[in-house]
Structure 1
C-alpha cells in the first residue's frame, strides 16, 4: 500500500470513529457535540459531485449528496462543549471575512480498504493554509480531554496531532477530499472504481466560504449550524 492509500485509509477510520468514540459526553465529563468546520466549494465542484453521484446511482449506490448532505471539504473536525456554539460561529464568521475565494482543484477517485469512496482534492498551499488557520483559531474552544480513538495510538504523528489539537488529521496530516460513500456494501463499487480510472472525474472551482455542521456517525453534516461566504 502506498503512502496516499495509507492516508486515505486513516481518513476513513477517523470519519467513522470520530462521532462513535466521542459520543455525547467526552472524557472531561462535559456534554459535547462533534462539529465539522468545513470549506464550501463552488458550483463546478458541486456539479462534479452531482454528476458522479448520478453515475453511482446507476450502479445501485446512493451518495451522501443524493441523501441531501452538503458537499464539503472537512477542515477541522473535533468535539466541542455544547455551550460553545456562539463562540465558534463568531470565530468562523470573522475568519470568513478575511478571505476571498480560494482556487480549488478536484481530480481523481479513491476507494479505501473500508469501501469509502472519495473524489480527490488537491492540497494546495492556499487550502492547507486555510485549514491550518481554522484549526489554530478554533482549537482553544474544543473539549480539552476528548476520548482517544484506539487506532490513533499506532501512528505517532497522528497521536501527537490529536493530543495537541483534538484531531489526528490536521496540519501535515490534512488530506482534503469529497466523500461520496462510507463503508459501502454494494459489490458494484469495484466495477465503478474501474470506470472512474478510465473516466477520471475532475473539475476546477473555488472555495467560497466556511460552514459549521453537527456531524453524523460518518462525519457528514446532519445539521448545518451556519455558513459564511467569502467576499467576492
Structure 2
C-alpha cells in the first residue's frame, strides 16, 4: 500500500512530539517516538507494481501547483479499537488538496484492491472504496495525526481523560506532499519521495 500524505510544519510536529512525550510517561510509545514521520494521510491505496514513476510525477506536479496552507490541529480522540489521534481541522483548503490528490492518483491505482473487512459496515465508505480504492476520500476524509494503533496499555483511558482537560492544539501549515510505503498501521515504513510547496 502507498500513502500520499500531507507534510505538516514544525509547530504541528512539535505538538505530536510533546504529546508523545506525555504518552511515554504512561508507558506508551507513539509512532513518532518510533522514528516514523508525522503525516496526514490524503490518499492511501494499492498501486500496481511499476507505477512509482507515474505516482511521483503526479505528486510532484500537484506540489508545484500548491502553496503552504494553514493547518489547525486540535483535540484528542481514542477509537473503539484503541487508536489514538490528534484531530486536524478539515478546512476547505485541506479538503481541496485531498480531493485533488485522490483525483490525480485514482486512475493509477490497482483496479482490484483488497477490501478491508471493517469497510463493509459503512455504506458510504464502501461506495468510496469501490470507486476510488480508498474508503476515506471526499466526504469520508477525516484528517488526523495518528499517535498509536490498537494500543493494549489500559493507561490509554486515563491519558484520554487527561487530554480532554487540556486539549492538545497547535497552528501550523501543510508545507508539502510525500509518498510512503505503509506498514499494517498505515505508517511510513519507507518514504519514497517528498516534495515541498513553493
TM score, norm. by length of structure 1: 0.84
Equivalent residues in 2 for 1:77-226, closer than 5 Å = 77-226=44-193
Deviation at 1:153, TM superposition (A): 2.1
Mapped to 1, the partners of 2:172 and 2:116 lie a distance apart of 34
Mapped to 2, the partners of 1:189 and 1:104 lie a distance apart of 26
Deviation at 1:152, TM superposition (A): 1.8
| Cross-structure match for 1:9 | none
Deviation at 1:180, TM superposition (A): 0.1
Deviation at 1:199, TM superposition (A): 1.2
TM score, norm. by length of structure 2: 0.99
| Cross-structure match for 1:31 | none
| Cross-structure match for 1:6 | none
Mapped to 2, the partners of 1:156 and 1:199 lie a distance apart of 35
Structure 2 spans left out of the alignment, 5+ residues: none
Mapped to 2, the partners of 1:200 and 1:183 lie a distance apart of 21
Task: Name the Cα RMSD after superposition.
Answer: 0.6
Structure 1 spans left out of the alignment, 5+ residues: 1-33
Give the aligned length: 198
Deviation at 1:149, TM superposition (A): 2.0
